[in-house]
Amino acid sequence: MADLVQVMDRLRSPGGCPWDAEQTHESLVPYAIEEVFEVAEAIETGDRVNLREELGDLLLQVVFHARVAAEDPEDPFDLDEVAAGISAKLRRRHPHVFVDGAQVDDAEEVHRRWETIKQEEKARDSVFDGIPLGMPALSRAQKVLGRARRAGLPLPAPAAITDEDSLGDALLALVAAAQSSGWEAEGALRSAVRRYEASSRAAEPNRAEGTERSDGGA
């Protein structure tokens, strides 16, 4: 890691690489997104050699953004602060590991506690707050439904799917149906998720009672 930080510093400093020197957080966004998808592809194809390389490319994006952030004249931070921040967050979000006497029954309870602690920390009014609008529609749908399920909110009736292959086939058939009708499947799903999220927000206990949740608790 220290060597990678030094390489990035050399690239970014005077006399280094002109391309690296002119990059900003904004200009680097497409590369970070691309690297995430390439990591996912390496995992899905079982290519461990490529996975090691792609994880390095993804790590570079973190180091690159931290180097750019360190140059900010008003609010600088560096890689050490990024690492310290995530370490502290992991300790807070895993009290059953780092706090004596705290226990959980299973992974599902861990996930529920994680969401509860996050909601309290960020003082959010809804379990759906913080889900990025820019996520791909299918990923966002899974995130929204996962939050709703853990919060005990009503879920759409599931289709009769027997395994992952039949699920994939059904999704592919829906995309084909959308294309044949001249519709855009990504946009249609995004709209459906927005409608479901809006109705579910209205059904949350604090909204249904007409009161605001002041502490962001679950």
Q: What is the DSSP string of the chain?
A: -HHHHHHHHHHHSTTS-HHHHT--HHHHHHHHHHHHHHHHHHHHTT-HHHHHHHHHHHHHHHHHHHHHHHT-SSS---HHHHHHHHHHHHHHH-HHHHSTT---SSHHHHHHHHHHHHHHHHT-SSTTTT--TTS-HHHHHHHHHHHHHHTT---PPPP---SHHHHHHHHHHHHHHHHHTT--HHHHHHHHHHHHHHHHHHHSHHHHTT---SS---
pLDDT at 108 over 90: no
pLDDT at 210 over 60: no
Match 């900003």 to its residue by tokens.
24
Least confident of 50-59, 121-130, 153-162: 121-130
Domains of the chain: 2-91 (1.10.287.1080), 97-208 (no CATH)
**What are the structure tokens assigned to 9, written together?**
């510093």
- Average of per-residue pLDDT across 181-206: 92
Least confident of 63-77, 93-107, 111-125, 184-198: 111-125
**What are the structure tokens assigned to 66, written together?**
């931290």
Least confident of 58-67, 79-88, 96-105, 140-149: 96-105
- Average of per-residue pLDDT across 139-146: 94
Instruction: Identify the top-confidence range among 103-107, 193-197, 214-218.
Output: 193-197
pLDDT value at residue 206: 63
- Average of per-residue pLDDT across 130-149: 92
pLDDT at 218 over 70: no
pLDDT at 23 over 80: yes
pLDDT value at residue 105: 80
For residue range 165-182, list pLDDT tens digits in order.
Answer: 999 999 999 999 999 999
